A and B are shown apart, each in its own frame.
Chain A
Amino acid sequence: MKIRNYWNLRDLGASVWEKANRPKRVVIATSSIFLVGLLPFAGASFLATPIAAYDAVLVYPVGVFILMALGLNIVVGKSGMLDLGYVAFFAIGAYTMALMGTHTGLNTWEIMPFGIGFAMLAGVLLGLPTLRLRGDYLAIVTLGFGEIVRLVVLNSTWSKGPNGIANIPMPPDIGPFKFKLEDQKVFFWVVVIMILLVIWMIRRLSIRRPGRAWEAIRQDEDAAELMGVATLKYKIWSFTLGAAVGGAAGVLYASKNLFIAPEMFTLNVSILILSCVVFGGIGNIWGVVVGATILGYLPDRIRFISDARLLVFGAVLVVVMNFRPDGLLPRKKREKAIVKSEVNA
């Protein structure tokens, strides 16, 4: 039992956090955020990625994957609904940025609310009719939705079809922080701030009514309904919040990439993000962060084995799932303990 605990980073982390008092916690939190913020400077270390620029990899795939995985985790991890069409919200955010950025004079931060709004709207529109479905049926309907969004974009002229949209404006500088193409540190810091915001939002919600409702729905939807939980309402909320995060990630991605095309929004992205969630530890924020970091970073780190890297990626998925089916950092069997201590704190 003791040996197991040694490996159990989740409990280790939780116990350090729980034992700490408020000032200590502030120190832990700020110093870890500071350390993360320093990551782009570690490009010359063993972390360096061959061919791909290290700071660019930190923004996309790593940062954007974390953001999206956190959003998907609200849907899949918190309320237990299998969503295979998450890329649709990412695409909606990205296309909002691309179209508004090239046609209106608005900048990235002004477009951000629109991107989030459209993604949420799509979430509600999709959620209202389909969230009555469960399990695999929901999975295939969401999958279909993801493909529909991509195909509509591909077959339409307003989106310039398969050619994609180029010359999307970069975000305006924030004071002394300038967005540059060759050096993407500022992008990374922006992603980190967005990730922190999302984490903060999820943690607030988790210990309040929606979080409890999601937990109940995840464990037994019928029982939850019977106990007076407005299941459909909370499911739509969960879906829409997930969509909002996906939309925000899309806006940022388009503004960072400067060019988007429909081929960037295939089902593979949905599956990859879902893999991040499950690989890291479904339902556990830190697990999801770890999972997305590894799965985003690994393929670029192992570029030197070039053609076989996807094979290795697949093998890693199989091996980890077989030996740690709840992910690298699994959530606790019952989240009650965490919830209680947080309320008391």
Chain B
Amino acid sequence: MFAVLIDQFWSLTIAGVALGFIYVLISLGYTMVYGVLRMINFANSEIFMWGTFGTIITNRDIFHYTQISEPATGLKLGIVLISSLLMSMFVAGLTAVLVEFVAYRRLRAKGTNRLATLISAIGVSICLQEIMRLLTDSRPVGSPRVLEKIILTEVWGANIRLDTVITIIAAAIIYFLLERFIKLSRMGKAIRAVSQNEDAAKLMGVNLNRVITTTFLVGGLATGAASFFYVTVFEYSKYNIGFTMGMAAFTAAVLGGIGNIRGAFFGGLTLGLLEVYASAVLGTQWKAVTVFIVLVLVLLFKPNGLFGEAVQQTRA
């Protein structure tokens, strides 16, 4: 039962960390919005899905890579990767702002119940998913290989691959930059102020609408970065990938303590590792069950998540 885990521990760990970093970035999308609005941004999974097409379009239609073309090298590689990263972030950021505008703004202005907002967000995510399904004919879309997956070195029997290394390092940098932004910038402070006390923040002259739009934008950008890594690693997207990834990332956010940026970091990594280890030990069919059972246990004994500060009492 544990043979696989022992034999392949380090390759599993590396894979889990890389996957974990993708979760970290998506769960930032959930956690930022939650921090400010105290609401689950149900459409974040579709924002992620739309983001993946940003990278695919850049690779395929702007730089004209095909399934059979040679991977890029040198400077060109850098340019292509950075432009697809920016494109994914742009698409996802734009979608996120759109989601806020369509699903949240009007309801928030009315100050109505949270469930209506939730259903409105569900409606928007159905629309986003369906539009993409119609655009892609329900078929999976492959992304051409831009980054060659060279095995750099072998450590403790595990292959260290270029794409894994890039994912881990770049995702960590993006996470770090976002955290700095929230901590230090004026806008970031405003976001935190609104998250702590909306009314007080308003009194202090914070433009609430702008803060909320920015929060969605920043969450969307983080999610978009995740989309880029996802496509670079898996070279694939489909209209329905959002649900699984979004579900996992949302679980990660709750695991870490939703509304808490650092919680998203630890939650994402924990979930990535947990999924990989559980699949190796119990079989992949029990992965989701394990994740949910761990989540329930964590919530029972530490109701604000593993790393959450016990500040929020969720508003009913």
Q: How far is the CA of A155 from the CA of B116 in the complex (A)?
A: 35
Q: How far is the CA of A317 from the CA of B123 in the complex (A)?
A: 5
| Contact A133–B126 (Cβ < 8 Å) | no
CB interface residues, A 288-345, toward B, < 8 Å: 307-308, 310-311, 313-318, 321-322, 325-327
Which residue of B is nearest A327, CB measured? Answer: B116
| Contact B258–A325 (Cβ < 8 Å) | no
Tell me, yes or no, whether B265 is within 8 Å of chain A by CB.
Answer: no
Q: Which of A129, A145, A221, A322 contacts B106 (CB 8 A)?
A: A322
Tell me, yes or no, whether B314 is within 8 Å of chain A by CB.
Answer: yes
Tell me, yes or no, whether B288 is within 8 Å of chain A by CB.
Answer: yes
Q: How far is the CA of A278 from the CA of B250 in the complex (A)?
A: 22
| Contact B127–A314 (Cβ < 8 Å) | yes
> B residues within 8 A CB of A76?
115
Tell me, yes or no, whether A141 is within 8 Å of chain B by CB.
Answer: yes
Q: Which of B134, B250, B313 contacts A140 (CB 8 A)?
A: B250
| Contact B303–A132 (Cβ < 8 Å) | yes
Q: How far is the CA of A310 from the CA of B34 in the complex (A)?
A: 27
> B residues within 8 A CB of A321?
107, 116-117, 119-120, 123
| Contact B126–A134 (Cβ < 8 Å) | no
Min CB distance A288 to B, Å, is: 13
Which residue of A is nearest B138, CB measured? Answer: A307
CB interface residues, B 98-136, toward A, < 8 Å: 102-103, 106-107, 110, 112-113, 115-120, 122-127, 130-131, 134
- A282 in contact with B122 given A136-B314, A314-B130, A318-B103 (CB within 8 Å): no
Q: Please, how many residues of chain B have a CB less than 8 angstroms from a CB on the other chain? A: 43
Binds B, one of A105-113, A146-154, A176-184: A146-154
Q: How far is the CA of A148 from the CA of B300 in the complex (A)?
A: 17
- Most chain B CB within a 10 A radius of its CB, from A274, A308, A317: A317
> A residues within 8 A CB of B122?
271, 275, 314, 317
Contact with B along A123-145 (1 / 0, CB 8 A): 00000011011111101110011
| Contact B303–A151 (Cβ < 8 Å) | no
- A279 in contact with B295 given A134-B314, A151-B288 (CB within 8 Å): no
| Contact A136–B40 (Cβ < 8 Å) | yes
Which residue of B is nearest A77, CB measured? Answer: B115
- A326 in contact with B314 given A278-B118, A307-B134, A311-B130 (CB within 8 Å): no
> A residues within 8 A CB of B119?
274-275, 278-279, 317, 321
Q: How far is the CA of A80 from the CA of B315 in the complex (A)?
A: 11
Min CB distance B39 to A, Å, is: 8
Which residue of A is nearest B103, CB measured? Answer: A318
CB interface residues, B 239-297, toward A, < 8 Å: 250-251, 254, 258, 285-286, 288-289, 292-293, 295-296
Min CB distance B258 to A, Å, is: 7
Tell me, yes or no, whether A10 is within 8 Å of chain B by CB.
Answer: no
Contact with A along B33-45 (1 / 0, CB 8 A): 0100000100000
> B residues within 8 A CB of A82?
115, 118
| Contact A155–B316 (Cβ < 8 Å) | no
> A residues within 8 A CB of B103?
318, 322
| Contact A80–B316 (Cβ < 8 Å) | yes
How many A-B contacts at CB < 8 Å in the complex?
128
Min CB distance A229 to B, Å, is: 15
Q: How far is the CA of A308 from the CA of B157 in the complex (A)?
A: 50
> B residues within 8 A CB of A132?
300, 303
Tell me, yes or no, whether B299 is within 8 Å of chain A by CB.
Answer: yes
| Contact B123–A152 (Cβ < 8 Å) | no
Q: Which of B40, B123, B124 contacts A139 (CB 8 A)?
A: B40
Min CB distance B230 to A, Å, is: 21
- A311 in contact with B314 given A130-B296, A141-B296, A282-B113 (CB within 8 Å): no
| Contact A311–B106 (Cβ < 8 Å) | no
| Contact A318–B289 (Cβ < 8 Å) | no
Q: How far is the CA of A322 from the CA of B119 in the complex (A)?
A: 10
- A310 in contact with B126 given A134-B313, A278-B118, A321-B119 (CB within 8 Å): yes
| Contact A140–B303 (Cβ < 8 Å) | no
> A residues within 8 A CB of B285?
151, 154-155
Min CB distance A136 to B, Å, is: 6
> B residues within 8 A CB of A315?
123, 127
Min CB distance B184 to A, Å, is: 29
- Most chain B CB within a 10 A radius of its CB, from A80, A310, A325: A325
Which residue of B is nearest A142, CB measured? Answer: B296
Min CB distance B264 to A, Å, is: 15
| Contact B123–A144 (Cβ < 8 Å) | no
Q: Which of A135, A145, A147 contacts B288 (CB 8 A)?
A: A147
Min CB distance A188 to B, Å, is: 27
Min CB distance A315 to B, Å, is: 6
| Contact B289–A322 (Cβ < 8 Å) | no
| Contact A326–B127 (Cβ < 8 Å) | no
Q: How far is the CA of A137 from the CA of B303 in the complex (A)?
A: 8
Q: How far is the CA of A308 from the CA of B127 in the complex (A)?
A: 10
Going nearest first, the 9 A-B pairs with the smallest beta carbon separation are A317-B123, A314-B126, A135-B314, A144-B292, A325-B112, A318-B123, A325-B116, A321-B120, A314-B127
Question: Interface of B with A (CB < 8 Å)?
Answer: 34, 40, 102-103, 106-107, 110, 112-113, 115-120, 122-127, 130-131, 134, 250-251, 254, 258, 285-286, 288-289, 292-293, 295-296, 299-300, 303, 313-316
Q: List 22 A-B contacts (CB under 8 A).
A: A130-B296, A135-B314, A135-B316, A136-B314, A137-B254, A140-B250, A140-B299, A144-B251, A144-B292, A147-B288, A155-B289, A274-B119, A275-B122, A279-B119, A307-B134, A311-B127, A313-B126, A314-B126, A321-B116, A321-B123, A325-B107, A326-B112
Q: A137-B314, A308-B134 provided; 6 other pairs, C-beta below 8 A?
A: A136-B34, A140-B299, A148-B293, A151-B285, A311-B130, A314-B127
